[in-house]
Copies of this chain bind each other. A is one copy, B any other.
C-alpha cells in the first residue's frame, strides 16, 4: 500500500458494516446520543457490532464518548467530532452521486431513494 495509504486506510474502517450509517445517525437530532438511543434507531444492528464500530470510530477520532458514572445506571453518550462533521459533506456527495446515477436499481425505486436518509 505504502503511498496509497490515506484513502485506503480511511476506507478500511468506513467500509465496515454500519459505520457510515452510525455516523449518519449521530448527525441527527441532539448532540450527544446514548448507546441505547443509537441502537434503537438502527433496528438491525447488534450491541456487539455497534459497540465495536463506536470504538473504532473513536480510535479514528470521528466520535467522542463521555460517561457519567455517577448516574445509576451509568450514562454513556456519543457525538461526532469536527473531523466527522466534515466527512458528512462527503457522504452527502456520495448520496447525491448515487441518486443521480443509480436511481433505477431494482430494489429501491426513485420515490424511496429521494426520501431515504442515505
Which residues of A line the B interface, CB within 8 A? 2-11, 14-15, 20-21, 60-61, 83, 86-87, 89-91, 93-95, 97-103, 105, 107-108, 112-113, 115-118
Contact = CB atoms under 8 A, between A and B. Distances in A.
A102 B8 CA distance: 12
A63 to B, nearest CB: 13
B87 A90 contact: no
Copies per complex? Answer: 2
Contacts of A90: 90, 93-94, 97
B98 A10 contact: yes
A4 B99 CA distance: 11
Given A6-B102, A90-B93, A90-B97, 14 more contacts: A2-B108, A3-B112, A3-B116, A3-B117, A4-B118, A5-B107, A6-B113, A6-B118, A7-B118, A10-B102, A83-B101, A86-B97, A89-B93, A90-B94
B9 A98 contact: yes
